Structure 1
């Protein structure tokens, strides 16, 4: 896992696997946000499997896919609401971390 900070409490990374959740919890994150739609790429784990592993580590977990039928403009207010709900550090992931960083910027402008 290679997390990149966008802010002090919001970091982004590429695809995470269920086996990564212990490392995510150990790193001090409170929540994980998946922005990658299920079935987007070959060998991509299903969100349900990541969710189960995250919850077993005491992490909050959110599914906020960006792509397919979910556009960034509709997901930005949802991200803003999630970030208000979660008090500690958040790790958001997609294929590379790029759309997670972009959606964060949109969320800051969302009303």
Structure 2
């Protein structure tokens, strides 16, 4: 897992699996956001499997799927709301972490 810190309370990574949750929890994260739609690749773990592992570890989970290359204003607003509501620090993931990073940049730009 390649976790990249974007801000004090927000980091991103590529696809995670249920077996990664202990490491994520041990690293101090309190919440996980999935920005990857289910079924992008046949071998990716579904968000329900990850959600179950996250919640079993006592962390908070949010599913905000963003289609690659098609980020919308609604996606940005949902991510901003999640970051305002979820316990920090937050780890967001998608295929590579790029969508999660782009969402964060768009949130910052919208604050102007």
Q: TM-score, normalised by structure 1?
A: 0.92
Taking the aligned partners of 1:89 and 1:52, their CA distance within structure 2 comes to 19
Aligned positions of 1:10-89 closer than 5 A:
10-67=10-67, 71-89=71-89
Taking the aligned partners of 2:110 and 2:64, their CA distance within structure 1 comes to 16
Question: CA RMSD, aligned part only?
Answer: 1.5
Q: Give 1:72 deviation, angstroms.
A: 3.0
Q: Give 1:29 deviation, angstroms.
A: 0.2
Taking the aligned partners of 1:20 and 1:89, their CA distance within structure 2 comes to 16
Matched-pair contact (CA < 8 Å) for 1:72–1:103: no
Aligned partner of residue 7 in structure 2, secondary structure:
coil
Runs (5+) with no aligned partner, structure 2: none
Q: Give 1:73 deviation, angstroms.
A: 1.9
Taking the aligned partners of 2:40 and 2:34, their CA distance within structure 1 comes to 12
**Count of paired positions:** 110
Q: TM-score, normalised by structure 2?
A: 0.91
Taking the aligned partners of 2:6 and 2:72, their CA distance within structure 1 comes to 17
Which residue of 2 is the match for residue 9 of structure 1?
A: 9
Shift >4 Å, 4+ stretches:
none
Are 1:98 and 2:93 matched, yes or no? no
